[in-house]
C-alpha cells in the first residue's frame, strides 16, 4: 500500500516538532453486498475506500490527522498537521528505521483467503435462502436475505520500528422473516458471519439459517406475553454471550477504568463473579467474527483471561492506556476506519464451558424463562446497569421448556448478575455481533455454554 522508505520519511516528518511516538495507519477497504427482498434482488452495491490516519504522541498529548490521499505528499501533509500538537516538545531531526524485512504479519489458523465468490454465486445463495424460508411454513409472509463481503487491508508503522500488516476478509449472510397470523406479525432473524471470504459457505448452510429464522417467526405467532418481574433465566449456548459483553466486558475496557467510569475500577484480584465464571477475550479464535491477525495499532491479537474462577484478573488495553501504566497493549486497540482514533475494544469475548449438562439445567429449573436467542444489549459502564433483549424465548414450567414468549428486554446490574450464575454447561458455541462504542462499530464475537442465572428482571407485559 505504501513503500517502507515513504513510511520512514512520513514518521520522521511527524516527529519534526518533537514527540515521543508517531504512527501511520493505512487502510484499503473494498466491500460488496446484495439484498434479496420480497422475492426480488433489489440491490447490489459496491464500495471502495482508502486512506491513512497519522498519530503523534507528545507527553500526554496526541495529535491525529487523516487523509484519503496516500501519495507521499498527501501523507507528509497529514504528518505535519498531526505534529502541530507537539510544538515546543524539543524538535529536531529524528530518523525512524523500520527494518529491511517488510511488514510483519501473523499467520492464523482459518487464515483468510481472498474473496472468490462472484456476484452470481451470491445471488444463488440468496435465492436458496428465500426458498427455504418460504417453504418453512405458509405463515411466512415476507423474507429478506442479505449477503455482504469486505476485504480490509491495513498497514501500521510506528516510530518504535513496528511495521505490521494484516488482511481481513469478512463475509456475512443474514435472513429475516416475517410471519403473519391471527395475532398479528412476528419476526425471526438469523445471521452467520466469519472472518473469511466465500469459504464461509463451506461451513454454513444458508437453508439452515433460513429455516431457523422462519421457525422463530412462526413459533412466536402463538407466543404469549413475557412475564414481568424477577425469575430464573436459562440462557442457551451462543448468543447468551451478549450478557458478558454487556454485563462486564465494556466495564473492563481500560479507557472506562482509567476515567473511573466503570464499576470494575480498582477491583483486580477481587471476587467479582460466581466461581463458575472464567471469562476470556481472544482475538485469535479460528475465523470468528472478532478475529484478526494484528490489531489496528499493529499488536498481534492475543488471548486475555479477564476473570478466572470469579476473580477479576485484568482489563483490556490499547497502546495509549497501556503506556500510561507502563505495560504493553493486550491487542485490543481497534478502530472503525482510518478516520477514527483507536479505542479499547473487545474481540471475541466468551465464558469458558463448565461441566453441567444443558438438559439437566433446564430439568432442574421448576419455573423460569429459557432464552434460545438474545437480540442485543446495552450497558451503562458507570452504574453497571444493563439490558439485553430476547428474540426467541420460552417459558420453563416444571423443568420443561413449554410455551414461546413474545420479545422482551431483561434488565440487571452487571456485578450483581455475575454472582447469580449457578450452573454452566458443556455445550459451548459462539455468535457474531456488531459492537458500537462512541460512534464506532467493530465486528465482535460472543460465546458461552448453556447457563442459568438464579434471578433476572424480565420486562414482559404479563403481570
Partner 1 sequence: MSTTTEHTRDARAGGGTDELLALAERVAGWARTGEDVEVYVARGTETEVRAYEGEVESLTSATSAGIGIRVVVDHRLGFAWAGSLDGSVLEGTLAEARDNAAFATADEHVGLAVPDGVPAVEVDLWDDGLADVATARKIELALDLEARTRAADRRIRQVDSADYGDVSSEAALVSTTGIRSSSRKTSGYLSVSVIAGDGDASQTGGGFSVGRGFDGLDPDRALSDAVSRAVRLLGATKGPSGRSTVVFDRRMATALLSIVSSALSGEAVAKGRSFFAGRVGEQVGHRGLTLVDDPTDPRAYGAAAYDAEGLACRRNALIEGGVLRGFLYDTVSGSRAGVASTGSAVRGGYAGTPGPGCRALTLAPGPEGHDEAGVLAAVGNGLFVQSLTGLHSGVNPISGDFSVGAEGLLIRDGRLAEPVREITVASTLQRMLLSLEAVGADVEWLPGIAAGQTLAIGDMQISGS
**Stretch 308-327 residues interacting with partner 1 (CB under 8 A):** 320, 324
> Rounded to the nearest whole angstrom, what is the least distance from the CB of residue 54 to partner 1 in the complex?
9
Q: Is 454 in the site for partner 1 (CB under 8 A)?
A: no
The least distance separating partner 1 from the CB of residue 221, rounded to whole angstroms, comes to 10
* Window 135-154: residues binding partner 1 (CB under 8 A): 141-142
Residues 12-51 that bind partner 1 (CB under 8 A): 34, 37-51
Q: By CB under 8 A, is residue 398 in contact with partner 1? A: no
Question: Which position among 264, 370, 386, 428 is part of the footprint of partner 1 (CB under 8 A)?
Answer: 386
Least separation in angstroms between residue 256's CB and partner 1 is 8
Nearest-CA neighbor of 348 among 257, 279, 400? 279
Task: Please state the closest distance from residue 49 (CB atom) to partner 1, in A.
Answer: 4
Angle between helices 4-14 and 72-83 (to 10 degrees): 20
375 binds partner 1 (CB under 8 A): yes
2 is an interface residue for partner 1 by CB under 8 A: no
> Smallest distance from the beta carbon of 166 to partner 1, in angstroms?
20
Q: Judged by CB, which is closer to partner 1: 278, or 409?
A: 409
The piece of 94-102, 194-202, 269-277, 404-412 that touches partner 1 (CB under 8 A) is: 404-412
CA 277/CA 95 separation, integer angstroms: 48
- The smaller minimum CB distance to partner 1, of residues 402 and 434, is found at 434
Instruction: List binders of partner 1 among 53-92 (CB under 8 A).
Output: 60-69, 74, 77-78, 81-82, 84-85
> Which residue, 172 or 220, has its beta carbon nearer to partner 1?
220
Residue number with CB closer to partner 1 (46 or 105): 46
- The whole-angstrom separation of Cα 61 and Cα 387 is 36
Least distance to partner 1, CB of residue 325, Å: 12
151-180 binders of partner 1 (CB under 8 A) = 178, 180
Q: If DSSP states are collapsed to H, E and C, what string results for the chain?
A: CCCHHHHHHHHHHHCCCECCEEEEEEEEEEEEEEEEECCEEEEEEEEEEEEEEEEEEECCEEEEEEECCCCHHHHHHHHHHHHHHHCCECCCCCCCCCCCCCCECCCCCCCCCCCCCCHHHHHHHHHHHHHHHHHCCCCEEEEEEEEEEEEEEEEEEECCCCEEEEEEEEEEEEEEEEEEECCEEEEEEEEEEECCCCCHHHHCCHHHHHHHHHHHHHHHHCCECCEEEEEEEEECCCHHHHHHHHHHHHHHEHHHHHCCCCCCCCCCCCECCCCCCCEEEECCCCCCCCCCCECCCCCECCEEEEEECCEECCCECCHHHHHHCCCCCCCCEECCCCCCCCEECCCEEEECCCCECHHHHHHCCCEEEEEEEEEEEEECCCCCEEEEEEEEEEEEECCEEEEEECCCEEEEEHHHHHCCEEEEECCCEEEEEEEEECCEEEEEEEEECCEEEEEEEEECCEC
Cell numbers for 4: 517502507
Q: By CB under 8 A, which span of 88-96, 146-154, 225-233, 422-430 interacts with partner 1?
A: 225-233
Interface stretch with partner 1, choices 165-173, 270-278, 326-334, 411-419 (CB under 8 A): 411-419
Query: In the set 197, 232, 353, 389, which binds partner 1 (CB under 8 A)?
Result: 389
> Please, what is the minimum distance in Å from the beta carbon of residue 31 to partner 1?
9
Q: Does 339 bind partner 1 (CB under 8 A)?
A: yes
Task: Map residues 255-294 to x or -, x wherever contact with partner 1 holds by CB under 8 A.
Answer: ----xxx-x-------------------------------
Tell me the number of residues near partner 1 by CB under 8 A.
84
> Least distance from C-beta 366 to partner 1, angstroms?
20
* Contact with partner 1 (CB under 8 A) among 106, 271, 341, 363: 341
Pick the closer one to partner 1 by CB: 101 or 438: 438
Amino acid at each position: 500500500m505504501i513503500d517502507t522508505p515513504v513510511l520512514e520519511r512520513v514518521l520522521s516528518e511527524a516527529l519534526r516538532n518533537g514527540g515521543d511516538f508517531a504512527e501511520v495507519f493505512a487502510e484499503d477497504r473494498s466491500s460488496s453486498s446484495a439484498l434479496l427482498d420480497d422475492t426480488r434482488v433489489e440491490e447490489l452495491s459496491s464500495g471502495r475506500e482508502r486512506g491513512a490516519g497519522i498519530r503523534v504522541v507528545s507527553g500526554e498529548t496526541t495529535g491525529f490527522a487523516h487523509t484519503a490521499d496516500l501519495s507521499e505528499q498527501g501523507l507528509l501533509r497529514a504528518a505535519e498537521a498531526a505534529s502541530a500538537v507537539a510544538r515546543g516538545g524539543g524538535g529536531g531531526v529524528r530518523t525512524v528505521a523500520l527494518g529491511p524485512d517488510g511488514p510483519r504479519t501473523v499467520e492464523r489458523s482459518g487464515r483468510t483467503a481472498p474473496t472468490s465468490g462472484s456476484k452470481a454465486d451470491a445471488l444463488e445463495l440468496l435465492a436458496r435462502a428465500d426458498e427455504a424460508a418460504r417453504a418453512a411454513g405458509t405463515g411466512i409472509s415476507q423474507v429478506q436475505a442479505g449477503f455482504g463481503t469486505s476485504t480490509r487491508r491495513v498497514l501500521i508503522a510506528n516510530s518504535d520500528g513496528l511495521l505490521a500488516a494484516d488482511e481481513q476478509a469478512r463475509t456475512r449472510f443474514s435472513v429475516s422473516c416475517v410471519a403473519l397470523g391471527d395475532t398479528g406479525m412476528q419476526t425471526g432473524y438469523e445471521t452467520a458471519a466469519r472472518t473469511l471470504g466465500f469459504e464461509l459457505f463451506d461451513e454454513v448452510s444458508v437453508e439452515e439459517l433460513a429455516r431457523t429464522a422462519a421457525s422463530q417467526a412462526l413459533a412466536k405467532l402463538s407466543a404469549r406475553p413475557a412475564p414481568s418481574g424477577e425469575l430464573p433465566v436459562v440462557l442457551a449456548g451462543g448468543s447468551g454471550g451478549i450478557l458478558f459483553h454487556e454485563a462486564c466486558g465494556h466495564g473492563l475496557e481500560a479507557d472506562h477504568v482509567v476515567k473511573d467510569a466503570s464499576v470494575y475500577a480498582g477491583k483486580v484480584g477481587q471476587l467479582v463473579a460466581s466461581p463458575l465464571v472464567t471469562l476470556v477475550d481472544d482475538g485469535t479464535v479460528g475465523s470468528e467474527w472478532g478475529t484478526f491477525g494484528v490489531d489496528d495499532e499493529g499488536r498481534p491479537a492475543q488471548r486475555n483471561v479477564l476473570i478466572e474462577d470469579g476473580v477479576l484478573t485484568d482489563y483490556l488495553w490499547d497502546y495509549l492506556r497501556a503506556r500510561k501504566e507502563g505495560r504493553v497493549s493486550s491487542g485490543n486497540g481497534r478502530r472503525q476506519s482510518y478516520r477514527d482514533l483507536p479505542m479499547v475494544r473487545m474481540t471475541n469475548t466468551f465464558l469458558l464451558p463448565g461441566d453441567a449438562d444443558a438438559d439437566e439445567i433446564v430439568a432442574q429449573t421448576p419455573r423460569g424463562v429459557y432464552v434460545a436467542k438474545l437480540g442485543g444489549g446495552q450497558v451503562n459502564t458507570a452504574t453497571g446497569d444493563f439490558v439485553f433483549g430476547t428474540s426467541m424465548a420460552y417459558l420453563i414450567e416444571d423443568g420443561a421448556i413449554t410455551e414461546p414468549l413474545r420479545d422482551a428486554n431483561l434488565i440487571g446490574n452487571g456485578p450483581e448478575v455475575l454472582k447469580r450464575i449457578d450452573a454452566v454447561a458443556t455445550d459451548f458455541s459462539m455468535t457474531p455481533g456488531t459492537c458500537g462504542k462512541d460512534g464506532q462499530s467493530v465486528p465482535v464475537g460472543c460465546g458461552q455454554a448453556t447457563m442459568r442465572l438464579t434471578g433476572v428482571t424480565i420486562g414482559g407485559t404479563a403481570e
